[in-house]
Amino acid sequence: MKILDGKQIAGEIRAELRARAEAFESKYGKKAGLAVLLIGDDPASAIYVRNKTRDCEEAGIRSFSYTLPADATQEEAEALIDELAADENVHGILVQLPLPAHLREDRLLAHIPYEKDVDGFSAYNIGSLALGSPAAVACTPKGVMRLLARYGISVSGKRAVVIGRSKIVGRPMAMLLLNADATVTVCHSKTKGLAEICREADILVAAVGKANFVTAEMVKEGAVVIDVGINRVDGKLCGDVDLASVKEKASFLTPVPGGIGPMTVAMLLENTLEAAERQMS
């Protein structure tokens, strides 16, 4: 079994992006800019936002951090996004999820113009992906595809099974695999006969959010297993895959931490630069 080292590959991509960000700045006389909006005081979200800000700065991307209180109204949040949408120094807008329960996520995200939607969550970007000609693609599944490509793992003609159908991971993951000519099955909480379906997979992607969910009996001998899950067990990070048993069967496996997480960050930086380049050209 070989480890797909997302941390190392993400480091290489980030070095490439730094050079691209410098080229952008010297061509246009300003940096590519990403605005990150945090609403409320969820401590995990605050850490994610801080990390994104730091990662942008390191990559030569200007970051704009905005925080609204947990009781911000829908109108206040939408007005701020409208302001950022009109700001020529802001090329990407990211709203940290989840939102406080009283806010309508769909209505809020609809205020982000699709060309500044670096998360790829807008109806236009998801529609483009579904039509097979994606513009901005959700960072996590994009990171999975990039990691496979960097390791020379072909997707075309393979049986791929994705566990999870969220708009952040599962759905766009399935569409990307389909666009790359895999034969794709999407499983979810109502799927019957999950283990049997998973055993058919040449490429198995777990995006469930449950520790040790994928066990050896769900994995075909020689399968490529991508662990997207992030779970905390006894204060330690782990994925959705039961590493101890699955490592005996998989040909390739992504670790948690150090697999898809760092790839996701790298893809956010790439999406921001791509958005900036598109807006300036």
Active site residues: 52, 96, 119
Q: What is the identity of the amino acid at 146?
A: R
Smaller CB separation from ligand NAD, 90 or 266: 266
Q: Which residues contact 95 (CB under 8 A, 6 or more apart)?
A: 37, 39, 81, 108, 109, 112, 119
Q: One symbol per residue from 92 to 121: x for binding ligand NAD (CB under 6 A), - otherwise; what is it?
A: ------------------------------
Q: Which region, judged by CB under 6 A, interacts with ligand NAD, from 7-15, 105-113, 122-130, 223-231? A: 223-231
What is the DSSP secondary structure assignment for residue 39, as one 8-state letter?
Answer: E
Structural tokens at position 268: 């956010």
Three-state SS for 236?
strand
25 Cα distance to chain centroid: 25
Q: How far is the CB of 144 from ligand NAD (least distance, A)?
A: 9
Q: Which region, judged by CB under 6 A, interacts with ligand NAD, from 15-23, 46-54, 100-108, 165-173? A: 165-173
Q: How far is the CB of 126 from ligand NAD (least distance, A)?
A: 14
Figure out which of the listed residues 17, 180, 184, 230 binds ligand NAD, where binding follows CB under 6 A.
230
Number of residues that bind ligand NAD (CB under 6 A): 23
Structural tokens at position 257: 């931490």
Q: One symbol per residue from 257 to 276: x for binding ligand NAD (CB under 6 A), - otherwise; what is it?
A: ---xx--x------------
260-280 helix and 43-59 helix, angle to the nearest 10 degrees: 60
Measured distance CA(43)–CA(184) in Å, rounded? 36
Q: One symbol per residue from 124 to 153: x for binding ligand NAD (CB under 6 A), - otherwise; what is it?
A: ----------------x-------------
248 to 203, 231, 252, 260: CA distances (angstroms)? 16, 22, 10, 21
Q: One symbol per residue from 183 to 202: x for binding ligand NAD (CB under 6 A), - otherwise; what is it?
A: ----xxx-x--x--------
Smaller CB separation from ligand NAD, 166 or 215: 166
242 Cα distance to chain centroid: 22
Figure out which of the listed residues 60, 134, 164, 255 binds ligand NAD, where binding follows CB under 6 A.
164
What is the DSSP secondary structure assignment for residue 142, as one 8-state letter?
Answer: H
Residues 168 and 148 sit within 8 Å (Cβ to Cβ): no
Residues 21 and 80 sit within 8 Å (Cβ to Cβ): no
Figure out which of the listed residues 209, 216, 258, 277 binds ligand NAD, where binding follows CB under 6 A.
209
Residues 167 and 210 sit within 8 Å (Cβ to Cβ): no
Figure out which of the listed residues 30, 150, 165, 247 binds ligand NAD, where binding follows CB under 6 A.
165
Preceding omega of 257 cis (within 30 degrees of 0): yes
**Interaction between residue 162 and ligand NAD (CB under 6 A):** no
The residue ranges that bind ligand NAD (CB under 6 A) are: 140, 163-166, 168-170, 187-189, 191, 194, 207-209, 228-231, 260-261, 264
